[in-house]
Homo-oligomer: A and B are copies of this chain.
Amino acid sequence: MISTKGRYAVRVITDLAKNNDGGYIPLKDIAARQEISKKYLEIIVKELVRGGLIAGVSGKGGGYRLCREPEQYSVGEILELMEGSMAAVACLDKGADPCPRAENCETLSLWAEYDRMTKDFFYSKKISDLI
């Protein structure tokens, strides 16, 4: 199940895209519009900044804004950044040590097919599709 962090992050990016007026948008406004605790959103935007998806500026007139056009953001990269991984199962996760049963496993191809389908879906969805 997709966590609130991932889902809220997509909503933040979408909110920034929708309310873009060329300037910076304070987190307070996003929190109010999205009805999400500003305190919790701080954690999320911090990671989005660290991941290079949005930019923040302190002080009056400050806030956050996108770094690219909405068509350039895939939902997949946002989820992957927030959740740390988009793997459907542990053995397909990046950095997972190779499973000795992989050759004999009857279910591996099932999970791999699902994994591929999921990634294709979310990486082809762009923020511009949500506005």
Contacts and interface: CB of A to CB of B under 8 A. Distances in A.
26 contacts: A1-B87, A1-B88, A1-B89, A1-B90, A2-B88, A2-B89, A2-B111, A4-B90, A7-B89, A7-B107, A7-B111, A10-B107, A10-B110, A11-B105, A11-B107, A14-B107, A18-B106, A35-B101, A75-B110, A106-B130, A107-B130, A114-B118, A114-B121, A114-B122, A117-B117, A117-B121
Interface of A: 1-2, 4, 7, 10-11, 14, 18, 35, 75, 85, 87-90, 101, 105-107, 110-111, 114, 117-118, 121-122, 125, 129-131
Contacts of A110: 10, 75, 125, 129-130
Nearest to A18: B106
